[in-house]
């Protein structure tokens, strides 16, 4: 028989607000906690404290991914949720943090209702999901899933010259749990919408059906400087004009493919679930 329980929304807001105070950007609701900085460490420490308060068992792997687990009636792979708590330089308080703290709120609600789940429940946060300091983004989950070898990840040099492995040691978050990790039984991530569509359409929640496939191209346009008044138009090699034409062409090409920014063959879509 199903038991109806609900999460404490105020409790979730309070945790989000408390976490947003670490690295807070004055005059905004946001925060800056770039991966593996002192502020990231302070944010990690706070979330780990909340996990411990809920009696969760903490495991930290070699790339600093942290997973808190609440035992279930049966052992085995957990039902897991989570996201990231690192931010970009001008991060909002919900991006990533919501997915982690909502998980803790679920654990708390389950405990308050006196329910023992069949499988363990786990909440995780992954290192350097934003990629703002260390490329690539989603670094922690790449290592977690075995898409990127740990040794390679530890040697990555950041935009400020820092090295992932050294920074992990410095903030005390290089742990012994193995990575890649054994897969969870199931994984779900709640994430604040990263674009404006649901908000504009007044839809409360949707299911992500795909992510962007970014491709970066650097183009150098070389021209020829010459006398402005005496060079006839037909004999000019104006790099600015060529670069502008390229920019306009690319914009029009993208617009032609439709409103979605990726996968033009699929057409843009989201699936409202309530
Ligand atoms: Zn995010």
CA of 33 to the centre of ligand 1 (A): 13
Write out pLDDT tens, residues 148-188: 999 999 999 999 999 999 999 999 999 999 999 999 999 99
Give the Å distance between the CA of 239 and the centre of ligand 1. 38
Contact 36, 132 (CB under 8 A): no
What pLDDT shows up at residue 10? 97
Task: Provide the pLDDT for residue 266.
Answer: 41
- What are the E-state strand segments in 141-247? 186-188, 206-207
Q: What is the pLDDT of residue 238?
A: 95
Convert 2-14 to b/e letters by CB count within 10 Å (16 or more is b): eeeeebeeeebee
Distance from chain centroid for Cα 127: 9
Is pLDDT at 200 greater than 50 in this prediction? Answer: yes
Return the bridge partners of 57, or none.
69
| CA 62 to centroid of ligand 1, rounded, Å | 21
Residue 70 Cα to chain centre, angstroms: 23
Nearest to 225 by CA among 216, 214, 215, 235: 235
121-144 pLDDT, tens digit per residue, is 999 999 999 999 999 989 999 999
- Calculate mean pLDDT across residues 196-217: 83
- In the reported structure, the alpha carbon of residue 50 is separated from the centroid of ligand 1 by a whole-number distance in angstroms of 20
Place of tokens 């996968």: 263
Please give the distance, rounded to the nearest whole angstrom, from the Cα atom of residue 242 to the centre of ligand 1.
Answer: 36
Measure 230 CA to ligand 1 centroid, in angstroms. Answer: 54
- Which of 129-138, 233-242, 254-263 bottoms out in mean pLDDT, i.e. has the lowest? 254-263
pLDDT at 195: 82
* Ligand 1 midpoint to CA 98 (Å): 9
Tokens of 101: 């703290």
User: Helix (H, G, I), strand (E, B), or coil: what is residue 124?
Assistant: strand
β-bridge mates for residue 123, sequence order:
68, 81
48 Cβ neighbours under 8 A, 6+ residues apart: 58, 66, 68
């Amino acid at each position: 028989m199903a038991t109806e329980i609900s999460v404490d929304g105020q409790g979730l807001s309070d945790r989000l607000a408390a976490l947003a105070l670490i690295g807070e950007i004055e005059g905004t609701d946001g925060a800056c906690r770039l991966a593996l900085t002192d502020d990231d460490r302070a944010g990690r420490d706070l979330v780990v404290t909340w996990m411990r308060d809920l009696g969760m068992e903490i495991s930290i792997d070699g790339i600093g991914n942290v997973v808190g687990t609440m035992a279930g009636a049966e052992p085995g792979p957990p039902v897991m949720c989570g996201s990231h708590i690192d931010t970009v330089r001008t991060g909002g308080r919900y991006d990533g943090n919501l997915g982690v703290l909502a998980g803790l709120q679920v654990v708390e609600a389950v405990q308050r209702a006196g329910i023992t789940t069949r499988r363990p429940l786990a909440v995780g946060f992954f290192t350097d999901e934003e990629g703002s300091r260390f490329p690539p983004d989603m670094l922690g989950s790449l290592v977690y899933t075995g898409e990127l070898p740990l040794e390679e990840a530890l040697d990555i040099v950041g935009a400020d010259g820092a090295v992932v492995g050294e920074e992990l040691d410095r903030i005390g978050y290089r742990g012994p749990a193995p990575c890649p990790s054994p897969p969870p039984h199931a994984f779900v991530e709640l994430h604040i919408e990263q674009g404006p569509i649901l908000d504009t359409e007044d839809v409360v929640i949707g299911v992500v059906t795909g992510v962007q496939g970014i491709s970066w191209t650097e183009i150098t346009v070389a021209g020829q400087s010459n006398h402005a008044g005496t060079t006839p138009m037909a004999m000019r090699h104006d790099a600015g004009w060529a670069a502008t034409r390229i920019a306009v062409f690319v914009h029009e090409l993208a617009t032609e493919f439709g409103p979605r920014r990726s996968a033009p063959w699929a057409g843009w879509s989201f699936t409202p679930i309530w």
